[in-house]
Amino acid sequence: MGRLGLAIVGWLGAMLLRTIGATWRVSVEGVNPLTAPGAAPVARLGVFWHRNIIAACHFFRDADFGVSVSRSRDGDLVAALLRYMGYAPPARGSSSCAGSSSLRALVREMRNGRTASIVADGPRGPARCAKAGVVVLGQLAQAPIYPVAFSASAAWRAGSWDGTIVPLPFARVVCAFGQPIHVSADEVDEGAVCSQIDAALNAMTNDLDARLGYKDPNRTPDQPVPSV
């Protein structure tokens, strides 16, 4: 598909998402670090599960956030859509294709003050299991990592590895912000930090799903949200 075709498809996809998203009854739980009184203008890293990519894309629209998108054909379509959803030009790459260049680009943007929003378990899973790249990005950019969970009262679920959910028109959608996870600039235990992210995101996700009546086939055992 040529540039014109990508632009058209991206615009149509963005308009559809904006239209459907405008009908959602969205509420926020926890402290949104971007809108909290006295919030400092510093870079932050918001992480969420891949299943919530549609809800997150709409929620963080028009904020000029930095994102990472794969260099695949699907990634070209996603990048085109994000352009019309108000995101910064994406850093292209993934854990399986040019990941290091994508990481370096996001680090540069965040050091210049731009907040980034990325999937913690992408691009291929396993579902609801954070990748070490999230920790590396937070460490190199020296930005706090904010777990962000979403759920919906009514949603269509894809048959993909992550069980991507698309909230239906007029559904209730809840976005929950967890406590920030700070990563030292010195040597860190990436596995331990990933486990902390997993525990926070999964506990919040399970809680939201239970309250909204959504059943996730990738649900993990209940865990307490770790204190930080």
pLDDT, one tens digit per residue, over 110-168 is: 999 999 999 999 788 899 999 999 999 999 999 999 999 999 999 999 999 999 999 99
Question: CATH assignment of 3-212?
Answer: 3.40.1130.10
Q: Is the pLDDT of residue 217 over 70?
A: yes
Q: Residues 134, 197: contact at Cβ < 8 Å?
A: yes
Beta bridge partners of 219: none
Q: Which residues contact 52 (CB under 8 A, 6 or more apart)?
A: 149, 150, 151, 165
**Token pair recorded at residue 170:** 């007029």
- Residue 96 near residue 187, CB atoms below 8 Å: no
Cβ–Cβ under 8 Å, residues 144 and 181: yes
Compute the Cα dihedral for 93, 99, 102, 103 and give only its sign: positive
Domain positions in the chain are 3-212
Lowest mean pLDDT among 62-66, 75-79, 137-141: 75-79
Beta bridge partners of 151: 174
- Is residue 190 within 8 A of residue 135, CB to CB? The reply is yes
Q: State yes or no: pLDDT of 226 exceeds 80.
A: no
pLDDT of residue 228: 45
pLDDT of residue 75: 78
d(CA 158, CA 80): 21
Diameter over CA atoms, the chain? 49
Using the predicted structure, report yes or no on whether residue 64 has a pLDDT greater than 50.
yes
Average pLDDT of the residues of the chain? 90
